Structure 1
């Protein structure tokens, strides 16, 4: 299926069932404990996989069903971070949050997601994608009282991510995606050392790699920030040239219902591009034709064999029926364009 034209996938998270966590809520506490929680996470993963398959997605994921948050769930399994010692920090220059502190050398004593990935691999023969937080986004979610250097901490996390990624690949993951929304904010740091840290995270991997750079979940802090960005969102322009030169295989972007000038995609020509054709910031379900229109625009700047229709970002905060409908129109819109390309 990876050889199929316009293979579809999600950017990451899917809504959790109400018996596992509070619906439409980020960082929602688990409703189960102990073995019931372990079983519940696996049941939720099976359900997320089923809904992706029912919608017709080509590349599937776990829907992040075993994670409370796309960054902190990974960090809480590491040594050197104290979740009881918290500080107030501004996250990606958008909103303040109480975050854990780095109090010592960070390290990974055991795999974090490998067993979950192995379980997913057992459920399907389809290509699977697994998301990890990127090094720069990780450091932007912590107070660093130990290294006192964003660059040094990012590279320490990159080494840890590389360990995890290699074990995920060995467990059968086809694409490992690093989520880096921070790349849309800290442009100088991205070019100075952020992409280099990402290169460290993907070093030696024998599976495909992706970096997901979006404008965030459809939560108020993010939607308010977008209102300040003007008539054109040109943030990608600052990092695309160096990303094009990087070893990363796939770049995942937010395109639908955004003010991103589509011609910016020409700056990464030659890379595979996951084009966000589904808006996750509202409850309106797109039509297949709307999805197809976004993909047609992208095809002006991305070769058809390198275009992967996707969602703008994760859909954890959405109602399940809305997310389900959006997945269905994503595949329907991709099918329209696939048919048009076949008839050319």
Structure 2
């Protein structure tokens, strides 16, 4: 049976692309050297897939930053402000991703949002009135022919017009329907050019089909693809979907002239039923049966059982990943610190290629259940993983409804806290982390390698914390943080301190652009045995008379930014983590830390893509899990939380129901669009919409921040508004951070003088 991969990671097994781009940003290499590095990576990735026996390999899935950003360039939809910089093509590309502040020019980056229900961030297209589509297929065609030169026939991948249109931000007076119509013409021409190049198969990704679709959206899709596919071309089209099912439009897809349909049979819970009930109308099914988002070995019995059911329908099947392998690490081969027991259960991108080949071979063998490889797989999956803890189970069983309710009510707590802290109006703070310099990372690395003593490691971090506190006091911030110099990542750090997690050495996954994370793997029941953050926070608190925030990561984010277990429910996992964080919260409070931030940056990520499933499958336990972490604190203790880079407007009421005292949002890159939702829903929680974008290296002026704050005051009560950046500062430089925070504090002071004097 043939096999296929939706897409492949591109950052490099050792993050080669990240380091090459950083060298380019620093001026240490030129664009030719950067392109050569990228070409080397692409060749390696193609050959790995070819050698693994994959039949349908993708090209154009490589990107320097993001595929949506690549699509903007492919369609010639670069906003005017970037064109006017008069930069090279590659520098214009990076200006859209990161912003540009040089030679007297100051341009913001495009917005970023989470890619469906993943921790990957995409760049949001911004469609101005004056922009006209101008197709540029240089990248697609070049990478296709590059693969051919290695003897590898591929299927180029592009994001489809329906998804691009749905995710784009159409500005000004441009008519949405007119823009979609122009996109359809552009994609029709793209197919023609692919046909002229001799490309036999193109993969068009339309993941937006797994959302709830209105009748109008369905008609738009059908009309669009009737035109795109209604040409006499040799190039075949594979329509690829992922992250869910296509229940709203399945029958209509059967009537359109797609050669193949790529359907997610892991997360798409209705897709198998749809196929069995309605058939596939002579189309080739690219069956997403190898999980592209998690790291566990495939259950051959379950997968081949589904293949057997599909064979009964006389359907031509290609086995493939459920989505792009962008969302998992490269390979387990370098994980020499993990035991064989752990490794035997894990499957990263390279291992998933092997699984596809093996499954393809087994699917062609009617006696596959008697083969050694099948029997060994089942024995592994049925073996005891020693992941159960009775104390954790007993504690979960004892949770009652009272454990999810904090008293007194928030409005009463607000009065108590205002008196206790005596903060100025528009209090200023940061989200938590401060710049992680080369020296900070080296200190942590040397300690982990055993090349630096624990005493020296702690002494270094204390020096950094002391300097950070002095720095914040000098700038004039009102609520301080300790800087998080001891933390590698907001989730990995907590996972390392909790029982139930395992950790990798090189299992990096791209989060956005060149930013990578190394998600922990939840192996067993989660619990805390001792305080995690207490010593660091108490040291920082001893250095100042100003309030010092305790900084924690919430249970939903810890789970969503880890690779979760598949042998228990998501709800049970989150509640286990919530109880562990609750213990940390209560320890901080008992030691005089009275402002505690419990970050839930990833709250929305596991939210089902269909609204009808939100409460039944996620919010009904995700929101209570957060409440469980803080319900035991005193009224005087102020609970903060933080969220970033997701669409929150449609769950604002649920966010308010988290019952935090203060929440900080990412808002600067989304034109403060969340403010209307806060006002429309009578949002009770005090709020700090981010006043500037920390993912861009530019420094916001006092005037720029003041302007943002004045807009906020039209939507947020003046007694509930906090002033802060939109996210943590770990990726920024020291100089730009200090300048930005100085301007932030001055803007807040100016506003106090305008509003209250």
TM-score higher than 0.5 here? yes
C-alpha distance in structure 2 between counterparts of 1:96 and 1:18, whole Å: 16
The yes-or-no answer on 1:29 pairing with 2:445 is: yes
C-alpha distance in structure 2 between counterparts of 1:271 and 1:152, whole Å: 28
C-alpha deviations, 1:162-219, integer Å up to 9, x for none? 000111112222221111121243333652321111001111112111110012xxxx
* Gap change, CA 1:85 and 1:29, over 3 Å in 2: closer
Contact 2:492 2:520 in 1 (8 A): no
Instruction: Give the C-alpha shift of residue 35 in structure 1.
Output: 1.1
Please give the secondary structure, in 1, of the residue aligned with 2:632.
coil
C-alpha distance in structure 2 between counterparts of 1:305 and 1:270, whole Å: 11
C-alpha distance in structure 1 between counterparts of 2:499 and 2:506, whole Å: 16
1:16 equivalent in structure 2: 436
Q: Give matches, 1:112-191, under 5 Å.
A: 112-145=532-565, 147-187=567-607, 188=614, 191=619
Instruction: Give the C-alpha shift of residue 275 in structure 1.
Output: 2.3
Residue of 191, 194, 197 corresponding to 2:622 = 194
The yes-or-no answer on 1:259 pairing with 2:671 is: yes
* Gap change, CA 1:96 and 1:281, over 3 Å in 2: closer
Q: Give matches, 1:79-98, under 5 Å.
A: 79-84=499-504
Contact 2:691 2:723 in 1 (8 A): yes
* Gap change, CA 1:140 and 1:162, over 3 Å in 2: same
C-alpha deviations, 1:290-335, integer Å up to 9, x for none? 1111111111121111111011000101111111111101101111
Residue of 109, 114, 130 corresponding to 2:529 = 109
Alignment RMSD: 2.6
C-alpha distance in structure 1 between counterparts of 2:570 and 2:588, whole Å: 26
* Gap change, CA 1:199 and 1:60, over 3 Å in 2: same
Contact 2:686 2:722 in 1 (8 A): yes
- Give ranges in structure 2 of 5+ residues lacking alignment: 1-420, 608-613
Aligned residues: 320
1:237 equivalent in structure 2: 649
Please give the secondary structure, in 2, of the residue aligned with 1:191.
helix
Contact 2:623 2:657 in 1 (8 A): no
* Gap change, CA 1:209 and 1:190, over 3 Å in 2: farther
Q: Give matches, 1:251-330, under 5 Å.
A: 251-261=663-673, 262-266=675-679, 267-330=681-744
The higher relative CO (CA closer than 8 Å, separation ≥ 6) is in 1
Contact 2:626 2:658 in 1 (8 A): no
C-alpha distance in structure 1 between counterparts of 2:699 and 2:515, whole Å: 28
- Give ranges in structure 1 of 5+ residues lacking alignment: 216-232
2:425 equivalent in structure 1: 5
* TM-score under structure 1 length normalisation: 0.85
C-alpha distance in structure 2 between counterparts of 1:96 and 1:119, whole Å: 30
Contact 1:6 1:305 in 2 (8 A): yes
C-alpha distance in structure 1 between counterparts of 2:520 and 2:605, whole Å: 21
Please give the secondary structure, in 1, of the residue aligned with 2:440.
coil
Please give the secondary structure, in 2, of the residue aligned with 1:304.
coil
* Gap change, CA 1:95 and 1:328, over 3 Å in 2: closer
C-alpha distance in structure 2 between counterparts of 1:334 and 1:237, whole Å: 26
138-147 or 175-184: bigger deviation = 138-147
* Gap change, CA 1:246 and 1:79, over 3 Å in 2: closer
Q: Whose radius of gyration is greater, 1 or 2?
A: 2
